């Protein structure tokens, strides 16, 4: 399986090969060096893609764990607040009724 190499990579490899060309080196030898450089560049890019994919997977996994753990803690805290507010809403009218009758009886 031969991977297609972009023209930019080919040109860069040829430029590097010509830059390191020794005196008396033939064009064929320079082309072979350029091909080796192309192969090195493509292997490097493959490795970087694999590393980036692994980092993305790890980041996604970490964010899923973080989001999965946050709502549980915040839901329980919210439910405690909701429960105390519900109790207050249920008791408040009775407290106001008792207070109003108390003021009525005192006058």
Q: What is the rounded CA–CA span in Å between residue 94 and residue 91?
A: 5
Q: Judge whether 50 lies within some domain.
A: yes
Q: What is the rounded CA–CA span in Å between residue 29 and residue 4?
A: 21
Domain count for the chain, please give it: 1
pLDDT tens-digit map of 56-73: 999 998 888 877 776 555
Q: Judge whether 17 lies within some domain.
A: yes
pLDDT tens-digit map of 82-107: 777 777 778 888 888 888 888 888 87
Q: How confident is the model at residue 1 (pLDDT cuts 50, 70, 90)?
A: very low
Structure tokens at 58: 């790890």
pTM assigned to the model? 0.52
Domain residues for 45?
7-77
Alpha helices in 3-26 (DSSP H): 7-19
Q: Judge whether 104 lies within some domain.
A: no
Q: What is the rounded CA–CA span in Å between residue 86 and residue 95?
A: 14
Q: What is the rounded CA–CA span in Å between residue 57 and residue 63?
A: 10
pLDDT tens-digit map of 17-41: 888 888 898 889 989 999 999 999 9
């Amino acid at each position: 399986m031969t991977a297609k190499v972009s023209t930019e990579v080919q040109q860069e490899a040829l430029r590097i090969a010509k830059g390191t060309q020794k005196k008396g080196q033939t064009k064929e030898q320079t082309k072979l060096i350029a091909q080796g450089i192309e192969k090195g560049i493509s292997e490097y890019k493959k490795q970087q893609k694999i590393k980036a994919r692994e980092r993305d997977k790890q980041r996604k996994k970490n964010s899923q764990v973080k989001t999965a753990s946050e709502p549980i803690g915040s839901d329980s805290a919210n439910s405690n607040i909701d429960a105390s507010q519900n109790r207050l809403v249920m008791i408040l009218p009775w407290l106001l009724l008792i207070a109003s009758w108390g003021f009525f009886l005192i006058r």
